[in-house]
Amino acid sequence: MPTKLAACDPCRRSKLACDHVRPVCSRCRDRDRAPSCTYRPRPFKKKSRQLPPVDQPGIVRIREPLQDRADSSESLANLTTRSRVYPNPGYLGSSSHTTFFDHLPPEEAPDMERSLVSVKDSDTVSGAKFIEQLHQSTQIPSFVDLVRVWLEKGVNLALAGPFTKHLADTMRYLFVDSGRTSDAMSVSKQLFSNTCLPLTVNDRTNFQSYCVNFCRVNARWETLGLFFVAVARAVADVPFFEPLHICKKQRRDVQSLAMLHADRCLEISLSLDCLNDLQLFLQYENFIIHAQMDGDQSYHSWRKLGDVISSLFALGYHENVGNETTTPSFLRNLRRAAFARAYSADKNVSIFLGRPPRLLQKYCHFELPGYGPDHARVIRSSNSHRQFNWAPDEDFNYGIDTRWSALCAVLKEEALDLFRMPNYTERAESAQRIQADAEAQWSALPERFRLDSPLKSYDCQPKERDFLVSARLNHLHVLVLTHLALQRRSHDPDGLLVSLSALMLSIVTEAIMLKEHLANSGTSLVWKVRWLDEYEGVH
């Protein structure tokens, strides 16, 4: 490719062709403009945009943390005031505009328009009014105590659970221990400034140092949002908590208030357009509480699940959850869990509403939390049974529920494809393979996690009993979908489909009778059962 030459200044301003002859080009010589025929020394170097001054009104300067943020007592005054430009486009794949421009030298690449991350004065004032409202009308100390009681029952948020205790401690630090020593405006400015900061992560980051990014003096709007989601979930699992509620109507009112506060915090975080892991976790947990309160049939819940999926794609976690040398393992596992739970929720909600799924496995590199790439390749294989090795002595945790629901969701996606196969013979062969995979997965699940007898005969914690029901319903759901796809006449189902449906109905009936002995696990099918008659007649 010939080297690109720059035109002289007169030809460039007139937008005329230049033959690049030096010291005077032919066009300037013919027009007797030799003195003005000059060439720029760096013709392809674009001028850098001047940033607004630090004291410009209406702009809150983004402050980047010092190298070491391990000390949670570090104040905002110790942060530098270097500004950074935004937006960060996030993950850009092989078909993005950056791929097409990668072949250009840096000085010739298009200069994408960028702007400062800024917080308007009006937003800071609005945030201060919200903080003042929390001080006056919300019982933060009682909320903190409720969450702690809830955690003592062994229940937690399915995805953001590791942070819940730190969130409660931070809320007590902000609204209880400090009392009224900090005015609402200063708290609002601090929250906005912290929310604009990137989450500091490197190869030396452990869980405690990671939490410093968003706890106590480094609290962000996502911190408040996740706490209020935990409050809304705790109300559902603590039937009576005298400082807040003693009847169903009061429980519903407290839960609705907590959900509104969580929505407000999420909206503020999204308005800053600084996507990060914590915001993704908040989006997922906020979707779950809306699905519980409004139902899956609500467009609001459907949209919020779409927002979670969009954020997963924007962060690139459908292909890469982080480099092993630079991203700590606990954070990679949390990202895998976020993808797996969103993937499972997408399949359940899509089937329930009869809408196409939005998160498809064939476009993703699927890694289950707690396991490496080898298991990811197994789950993506469609030519052999998916043998998944469970630890025989593994104690129950929400990671087990995440992995199992994701494994079943993969089979549900393949079962949905059966309905689009015009050839019945091919459909039957694919259905048999999916059924064999489902049975192999069920057999591989440790026996203590398989519901093969009445639920009341299992002596275990409520969250484990919840998983027993959820795991069995997910397994049966796959089988029902495959058998349903093979029915030639929908009005005349065969005996096996009827027996599977009857078994699911019997499990649901027993779960309703024992709902007080189940724990709310999030995306599991059980929460639908527990709330069938909890708020009967509310909607």
- Each residue's pLDDT tens digit, 164-185: 999 999 999 998 876 555 689 9
Quickly state the pLDDT bin for 242 (edges 50, 70, 90): confident
Q: Considering the chain, what percentage of its residues have pLDDT values greater than 90?
A: 45
Confidence of residue 47 (pLDDT cuts 50, 70, 90): low
Which range among 70-74, 369-373, 397-401 has the greatest average pLDDT?
397-401
pLDDT of 64 higher than 80? no
| Number of Cβ within a 10 Å radius of residue 381 | 11
Q: How far apart, in whole angstroms, are the C-alpha atoms of residue 121 and residue 125?
A: 6
Render pLDDT for 74-87 as a digit per residue (tens, 0 to 9). 433 333 333 444 45
Q: How confident is the model at residue 208 (pLDDT cuts 50, 70, 90)?
A: very high
* Cβ-proximal residues to 407 (8 Å cutoff; 6+ apart), any chain: 368, 379, 386, 388, 441
C-beta of residue 520 within 8 angstroms of C-beta of residue 233 = yes
Helix (H/G/I), strand (E/B), else coil: 453: coil
Whether 382 has a pLDDT exceeding 50, the answer reads no
| Token pair belonging to 1 | 């490719």
pLDDT at position 83 is: 41
What is the CATH architecture of 1-46? Irregular (4.10)
Mean pLDDT of 99-106: 58
* 159, 341 contact by CB (below 8 A): yes
Distance CA 389, CA 446 (A): 10
Dihedral angle computed from the Cα positions of residues 138, 282, 166 and 247, in that order, rounded to the nearest 10 degrees: 40
Distance separating alpha carbons of residues 499 and 191, to the nearest angstrom: 56
Six token digits for residue 193: 């400034």
Neighbours of 453 (CB within 10 A): 8
As a whole number of angstroms, the distance between CA 291 and CA 528 comes to 9
Task: Please determine, for residue 435, whether its predicted confidence score (pLDDT) is greater than 90.
Answer: yes
Output the pLDDT for position 146.
95
Res. 246 pLDDT band, cuts 50 70 90: confident
Strands 85-86 vs 115-116: parallel, antiparallel or unpaired: antiparallel
More confident residue, 285 or 8: 285
CA distance 539 to 536: 8
Across the chain, mean pLDDT equals 81
Q: What is the largest CA-CA distance in the chain?
A: 102
pLDDT, mean of residues 256-271: 95
pLDDT surpasses 50 at 363: yes
The pLDDT tens digits for 103-144 are 555 544 444 444 456 788 889 999 999 999 998 877 899 999
Token pair of 469, please? Answer: 């029901």
DSSP conformation letters of 15-70? T------SSS-HHHHHTT-GGG----SSTTPPPPPPPPPTT-TT-----PPPS---
Question: What SS3 class is residue 86?
Answer: strand
* Single pTM value for the model: 0.79
Tell me what pLDDT residue 97 has: 65
Does position 231 have pLDDT exceeding 90, yes or no? yes
pLDDT above 60 for 298: yes
Identify the pLDDT of residue 410: 94
Confidence of residue 12 (pLDDT cuts 50, 70, 90): confident
Q: Hey, where are the domains in the chain?
A: 1-46, 119-294, 322-539
Mean pLDDT (whole number) for 528-538 = 43
